[in-house]
């Protein structure tokens, strides 16, 4: 008990003893204010649960998500052994939802890696180099921003062919421009600051300045934006899946499951309802988490 | 003794925060006659809050409490919000710090002044327009017709503040609260704006509450000065006797200012005594 | 001699004139230039997508069993032997003449198809945006004025749900509840099967056409079909519009000029509507224009759920049957509308905000 008290005191110390101490203490205070935000904590809880479910899918799912049982197709909710019923091929919906969590996380994680990194590269180079490079890169960014995202993603998938990886690529291609804008704006303010001039005087080249000094400072605003975008990414991926352009059958992707259940919506409503609820819950969780993070990291933008 | 216009007794302004209730103004009492009353203090001393509390402009969650705020015998604390609106503008008005922010940026100046007039006078648009022109001329604005059609961002700071004064005086109030009216202005036009305000206040026999952080300016411009520190009045004195002030805070403030008539090598740094904020508020009643 | 004198006399008046005209001309030219570049970029991207597509455009026209000779003729006709840049210019030329090629499915010009399906989308999105604005703006204003109250909480939940719900799923659920269970609205499609092609198509907007024809039965039926998809679509713009309205209003309400208005003795209602709300109108119109553009996009998935014969259905059907010309044509048209709405909202700022002049 005394141990934790002192730990807490150390974390909340008003005069940090070292740079690392200050950093950890700032993180801890951010965590404290984040923790007081109930909705954000609920969001975080749902997402932790989702990761756990995805990781332990084989242990948690009561049935094999791919095994068909045509004798027991379209079984309603609460059927013995199938809490969420079965789909048109007699597959257990709950098991498919559990395995579908893996696909959702896979898509979200990949897009959340590719798009911000691409945006960061374009934005920092554009902001730091300036001149014509800036004009050209920002024009390209504007062109991509001018497109309706879903339609552009549709066209890309049409060109590349259907499939999860192509869906990820298509969503990333439509998702990077806002990150480039943010990174460029941050770079412009950082570039003209005194400490960058000091580093320049010490002989640091552009590459070193961008990678070691500008990128780390862009990260926090990008993280907030990514978390807020995650829900949109999930919805876009589900939309592509629904159109049959994302994950291909028999893969238990949630959007594709809705598409399959759509044919029976009036008679066997649960087939399409359950995966929809899953998508809704996860994207809601990301939205709650994103709002909470924004309040902690960027209090001004909230209200 | 001149007649009392405003009598404020035991005024408190409170803001609930995450770490308990913060008292911005703590039991302030004073009276105002047809005079120029200065309220001086540093930022956070509660001087602006006092001004806004009189007009009951503190927004929730802020709370205003007072034994009374009586305007010629009528207790403003007891008025309904609707009756209070008849007091604002028409009987007590306020000029704020920066005309860049206190004028509506997307409304023409004419519309804003006419609006102020017509809120309290059932005049025709043409009458209100003429009255506004007159008022603008009264604050020494040349080419008033053009200014009426202009937008605030096209005006300089000094002009903006004169427009603000015109707008606030057009319903002919009895009291004007001027909250740091010259702090955002160039030094070169401060005096001019003050003179115009002074002239109008005198002509109309109004009471003026002049809120400022600038001790010299207040000493120069006002009849009587209240010195506020951390939500309380620590000292009251006549402006011309300010240099005889006794409270250590006032003395500290005076000594931290450079003076041409008494040059010194090093100005004093203000030492704060926690006791000052604990001592009860001095009454500013006459 | 007289001429120079004349010039001298004019100079003082002319100089300020050019001072006024030149910056205006400059911004206009710059804006037009950037619009042109954006449009070129849009067309370039669709062009590239068309070239990357794993579909042989020649085979698609001549069919699998054509002779090598026919194949080569068509290959040359399409200009596929030319360098890519030249091909791009051919493509540009065609698009400028609103020629998106021929649909491979029904052998009709794509532009005719689009002209036929577009009004259906327009009708859906317009009713959707009306729904979103009529409810979203007052909700946003109230949420800002009564910040932290129950109405603010409701507005927050409405927005959160809107941002988190897959639109196609919400459509399905709406269909299930309001059509399947309650039977309050018409099912999928624009009109019931007995009313198809009953009224002559004048504008392509079936609500308008039926009114022009004076056919109330068709109007009622069409209305019962459009109300559900349009209000679900509108819900998304409601979420967005109310959120933006709220944050704009909060910004204005915390401004000092609002205190000025209160000092003048204005009622709270007038402070909110005559000062704060009046000042967000331009921003709001921008948001509504963007939201309208987003609705066109959202209609893609909604149209599929409701078998709505609009441009979204058209693009996806074409996509699934590898009808490349139709996909690209549809994409270009939607992209164009998107860009135009963006430009429109930019211009609004410049025209209506006195500070921007």
The residue among C280, C246, C274 whose CA lies nearest residue C260 is C274
| Site of tokens 């600051």 | A193
Question: Measured between CB atoms, which of B57, B87, B153 is closest to C259?
Answer: B57
Q: Quote the CA–CA distance of C128 and C133 in Å, as a whole number.
A: 9
| A76-130 pLDDT per residue, tens | 777 777 778 888 787 888 888 999 999 999 999 999 999 999 999 999 999 888 8
Q: How many CB pairs under 8 A join A and C?
A: 141
Mean pLDDT across C274-291 = 88
Q: Looking at beta carbons, which residues of chain C come within 8 Å of A255?
A: 166
Question: Measured between CB atoms, which of C256, C264, C275 is closest to B119?
Answer: C264
Mean pLDDT across C69-76 = 79
Q: Quote the CA–CA distance of C131 and C259 in Å, as a whole number.
A: 33
Q: Does C256 touch chain B (CB under 8 A)?
A: yes
CB within 8 A of C352, min separation 6: which ones? C281, C282
Q: Give how far Cα C329 sits from Cα of A31, B282, C88, C112, C314, Å.
A: 50, 80, 15, 11, 10
Say if residue A284's pLDDT is above 90.
yes
Amino acid A5: pLDDT: 59
B28: left (phi over 0), alpha (psi -120 to 50) or beta: beta
Contact C180 A160 (CB under 8 A): no
Mean pLDDT across A136-150 = 83
Q: Quote the CA–CA distance of A34 and C185 in Å, as a whole number.
A: 45
A287 in Cβ contact with C239 (< 8 Å): no
Amino acid C3: pLDDT: 39
Enter the tokens of residue C308.
Answer: 């709505």
- The residue with greater pLDDT, B211 or C70, is B211
Amino acid C239: pLDDT: 93
Amino acid C1: pLDDT: 37
Mean pLDDT across A4-24 = 74
Amino acid A3: pLDDT: 53
What is the enclosing helix (H) or strand (E) of A290?
A: helix A270-297
Q: How many helices (H) and strands (E) does chain C have?
A: 14, 0
Q: Looking at beta carbons, which residues of chain C come within 8 Å of B88?
A: 262-265
Say if residue C291's pLDDT is above 50.
yes
Exposed, middle or buried, B139 (CB in 10 Å: 0-12/13-18/19+)?
buried
Other Cβ atoms within 10 Å of B73 Cβ, number: 8
Domains identified in chain C and CATH numbers: 32-97 (no CATH), 116-356 (1.10.3720.10)
Would you state the torsion angle of the CA atoms of residues A214, A220, A222, A225, taken in this order, to the nearest 10 degrees? Answer: -160
Closest chain A C-alpha to C343 CA, distance in angstroms:
10
Q: Quote the CA–CA distance of A276 and A261 in Å, as a whole number.
A: 10
Q: Quote the CA–CA distance of B3 and A259 in Å, as a whole number.
A: 82
Contact A146 C331 (CB under 8 A): no
Q: Looking at beta carbons, which residues of chain C come within 8 Å of A235?
A: 164, 166-167
Amino acid C7: pLDDT: 40
Q: Which of A265-279, C68-82, C116-130, C316-330 tops mean pLDDT?
A: C116-130
Half-sphere exposure of C211 (CA within 13 A, CB side): 7
Give the model's confidence band at A280: pLDDT under 50 very low, under 70 low, under 90 confident, else very high.
very high
Strand-pairing partners, residue B30, are B8, B284
Amino acid C9: pLDDT: 39
Q: Which chains sit next to B, with 3 or more Cβ pairs under 8 A?
A: C
Nearest-by-CA chain B residue for C276: B104
A8 domain residue, yes or no: no
Exposed, middle or buried, A291 (CB in 10 Å: 0-12/13-18/19+)?
buried
A173 domain residue, yes or no: yes
Q: How many structural domains compose chain A?
A: 1
Q: What is the CATH number of the domain that holds A64?
A: 1.10.3720.10
Q: DSSP characters for A133-175?
A: HHHHHHHHHHHHHHS-HHHHHHHHHHHH-SSHHHHHHHHHHHH
Say if residue C295's pLDDT is above 50.
yes
Question: Measured between CB atoms, which of C163, C180, C327 is closest to A158?
Answer: C327
Q: Looking at beta carbons, which residues of chain A come within 8 Å of C54?
A: 159, 161
Say if residue A188's pLDDT is above 80.
yes
Enter the tokens of residue C317.
Answer: 């059907």
Instruction: Name the CA radius of gyration of chain C, rounded.
Output: 26
Enter the tokens of residue C267.
Answer: 């009622």
| A173-185 pLDDT per residue, tens | 888 999 998 889 8
A107 domain residue, yes or no: yes
Q: Give how far Cα A206 sits from Cα of A160, A170, A211, B23, B49, Å.
A: 36, 31, 8, 52, 51
Amino acid A298: pLDDT: 63
CB within 8 A of A22, min separation 6: which ones? A16
What is the enclosing helix (H) or strand (E) of B15?
A: strand B4-17
Q: Quote the CA–CA distance of B11 and B23 in Å, as a whole number.
A: 11
CB burial string A258-273: b at 16+ within 10 A, e below: bbbbbebbeebbbbbb
Amino acid A285: pLDDT: 93
Q: Among A190-194, A276-280, C27-31, whose mean pLDDT is lowest? A: C27-31
Mutation to test the C interface, candidates A146, A268, A300, most C Cβ within 10 Å: A146
CB within 8 A of C81, min separation 6: which ones? C75
Q: Does C296 touch chain A (CB under 8 A)?
A: yes
DSSP designation for B177: E
Share of chain A above pLDDT 70, in %: 96
Q: Quote the CA–CA distance of C60 and C261 in Å, as a whole number.
A: 69
Share of chain B above pLDDT 70, in %: 96
Closest chain C C-alpha to B80 CA, distance in angstroms:
12
A65 domain residue, yes or no: yes
| Site of tokens 């002030």 | B245
- The residue with greater pLDDT, B74 or C143, is C143
Residue A115: give the domain boundaries: 40-297
Q: pLDDT under 70 in chain B at which residues?
A: 1-2, 259-260, 262, 267-268, 270, 286
A67 domain residue, yes or no: yes
Amino acid C57: pLDDT: 67
Q: How many helices (H) and strands (E) does chain B have?
A: 11, 11
Strand-pairing partners, residue C3, are none
Phi, psi at residue B105, to the nearest 5°? -70, -25
B47 in Cβ contact with B228 (< 8 Å): yes
Mean pLDDT across C263-274 = 89
Mean pLDDT of chain C: 82
∠ CA A116-A121-A125, nearest 5°, is 145
C306 in Cβ contact with C175 (< 8 Å): yes
Amino acid C345: pLDDT: 78
Q: Which residues 261-300 of chain C have a CB within 8 Å of chain B?
A: 261-268, 275, 278-279
C235 in Cβ contact with C170 (< 8 Å): yes
pTM: 0.83
Amino acid C138: pLDDT: 95
In the three-class reduction of DSSP (H, G, I as helix; E, B as strand; rest coil), residue B7 is classed as strand
A80 in Cβ contact with A235 (< 8 Å): no
The residue among B196, B228, B214, B226 whose CA lies nearest residue B286 is B226
Amino acid B252: pLDDT: 77
């Amino acid at each position: 008990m005394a141990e934790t008290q002192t730990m807490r005191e150390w974390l909340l110390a008003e005069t940090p003893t070292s740079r690392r101490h200050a950093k950890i203490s700032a993180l801890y205070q951010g965590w404290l204010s984040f923790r007081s935000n109930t909705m954000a904590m609920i969001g975080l809880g749902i997402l932790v649960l989702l990761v756990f479910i995805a990781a332990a899918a084989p242990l948690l799912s009561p049935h094999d998500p791919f095994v068909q049982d045509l004798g027991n197709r379209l079984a309603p909710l609460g059927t013995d052994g199938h809490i969420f019923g079965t789909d048109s091929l007699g597959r257990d919906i709950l098991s498919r939802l559990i395995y579908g969590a893996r696909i959702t996380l896979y898509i979200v994680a990949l897009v959340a890696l590719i798009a911000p990194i691409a945006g960061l590269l374009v934005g920092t180079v554009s902001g730091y180099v300036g001149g014509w490079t800036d004009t050209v890169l920002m024009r390209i960014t504007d062109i991509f921003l001018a497109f309706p995202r879903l339609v552009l993603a549709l066209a890309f998938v049409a060109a590349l062919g259907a499939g999860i990886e192509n869906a990820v690529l298509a969503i990333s291609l439509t998702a990077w421009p806002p990150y480039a804008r943010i990174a460029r704006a941050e770079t412009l303010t950082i570039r003209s600051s005194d400490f960058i001039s000091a580093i320049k005087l010490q002989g640091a080249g552009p590459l070193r300045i961008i990678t070691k000094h500008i990128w780390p400072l862009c990260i926090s605003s990008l993280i907030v934006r990514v978390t807020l975008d995650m829900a949109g990414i999930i919805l876009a991926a589900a939309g592509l899946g629904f159109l049959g352009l994302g994950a291909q059958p028999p893969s238990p992707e949630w959007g594709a499951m809705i598409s399959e259940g759509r044919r029976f919506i009036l008679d066997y409503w649960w087939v399409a309802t359950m995966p929809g609820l899953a998508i809704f819950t996860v994207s809601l969780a990301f939205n709650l988490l994103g709002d909470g993070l924004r309040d902690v990291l960027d209090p001004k933008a909230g209200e | 003794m001149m007649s009392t216009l405003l009598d404020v007794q035991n005024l408190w302004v409170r803001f609930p925060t995450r770490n308990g209730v913060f008292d911005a103004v703590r039991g302030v009492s004073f009276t105002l006659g047809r005079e120029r009353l200065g309220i001086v203090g540093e930022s956070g001393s509660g001087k602006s809050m006092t001004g806004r509390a009189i007009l009951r402009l503190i927004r929730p969650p802020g709370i205003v409490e007072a034994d009374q705020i009586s305007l010629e015998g009528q207790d403003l604390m007891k008025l309904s919000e609707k009756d209070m609106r008849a007091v604002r503008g028409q009987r007590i008005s306020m000029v704020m710090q920066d005309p860049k922010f206190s004028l509506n940026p997307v409304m023409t100046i004419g519309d804003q002044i006419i609006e102020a007039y017509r809120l309290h006078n059932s005049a025709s648009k043409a009458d209100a327009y003429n009255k506004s022109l007159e008022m603008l001329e009264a604050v020494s604005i040349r080419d008033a017709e053009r200014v009426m059609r202009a937008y605030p961002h096209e005006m300089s700071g000094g002009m903006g503040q004169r427009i603000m004064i015109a707008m606030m005086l057009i319903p002919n109030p009895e009291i004007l609260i001027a909250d740091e009216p010259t702090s955002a202005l160039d030094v070169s036009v401060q005096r001019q704006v003050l003179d115009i305000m002074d002239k109008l206040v005198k002509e109309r026999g109004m009471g003026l509450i002049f809120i400022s952080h600038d001790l010299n300016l207040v000493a120069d411009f006002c009849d009587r000065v209240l010195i506020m520190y951390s939500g309380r009045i620590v000292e009251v004195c006549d402006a011309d006797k300010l240099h005889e002030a006794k409270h250590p805070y006032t003395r500290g403030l005076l000594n931290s200012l450079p003076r041409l008539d008494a040059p010194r090598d090093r100005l004093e740094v203000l030492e704060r005594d926690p006791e000052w904020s604990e001592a009860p508020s001095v009454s500013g009643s006459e | 001699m007289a001429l120079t004198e004349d010039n001298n006399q004019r100079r003082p008046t002319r100089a300020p004139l050019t001072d006024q005209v030149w910056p205006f001309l400059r911004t206009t030219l710059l804006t037009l230039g950037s619009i042109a570049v954006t449009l070129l970029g849009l067309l370039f991207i669709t062009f590239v997508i068309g070239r990357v597509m794993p579909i042989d455009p020649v085979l698609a026209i001549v069919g699998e069993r054509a002779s090598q000779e026919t194949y080569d003729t068509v290959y040359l006709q399409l200009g596929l032997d030319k360098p890519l840049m030249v091909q791009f210019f051919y493509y540009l030329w065609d698009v400028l003449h609103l020629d998106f090629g021929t649909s491979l499915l029904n052998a009709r010009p794509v532009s005719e198809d689009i002209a036929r399906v577009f009004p259906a989308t327009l009708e859906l999105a317009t009713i959707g945006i009306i729904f979103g604005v009529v409810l979203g703006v007052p909700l946003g204003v109230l949420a800002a004025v009564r910040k932290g109250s129950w109405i603010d909480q409701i507005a927050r939940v409405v927005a959160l749900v809107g941002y988190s719900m897959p639109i196609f799923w919400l459509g399905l659920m709406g269909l299930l509840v309001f059509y399947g269970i309650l039977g309050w609205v018409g099912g999928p499609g624009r009109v019931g099967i007995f009313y198809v092609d009953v009224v002559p198509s004048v504008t392509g907007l079936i609500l308008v056409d039926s009114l022009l024809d004076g056919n109330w039965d068709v109007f009622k039926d069409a209305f019962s079909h459009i109300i559900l998809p349009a209000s679900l679509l509108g819900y998304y713009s409601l979420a967005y519009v109310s959120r933006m309205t709220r944050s704009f209003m909060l910004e204005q309400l915390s401004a000092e000029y609002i205190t000025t208005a209160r000092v003048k003795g204005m009622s709270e209602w007038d402070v909110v509507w005559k000062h704060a709300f009046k000042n967000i109108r331009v921003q709001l119109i921008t948001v509504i224009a963007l939201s309208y553009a987003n609705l066109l996009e959202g209609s893609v998935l909604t149209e599929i759920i409701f078998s709505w014969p609009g441009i979204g259905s058209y693009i996806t059907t074409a996509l699934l049957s590898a009808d490349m010309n139709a996909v690209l044509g549809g994409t270009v048209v939607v992209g164009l509308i998107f860009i135009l709405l963006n430009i429109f909202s930019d211009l609004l700022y410049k025209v209506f905000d006195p500070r921007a002049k």
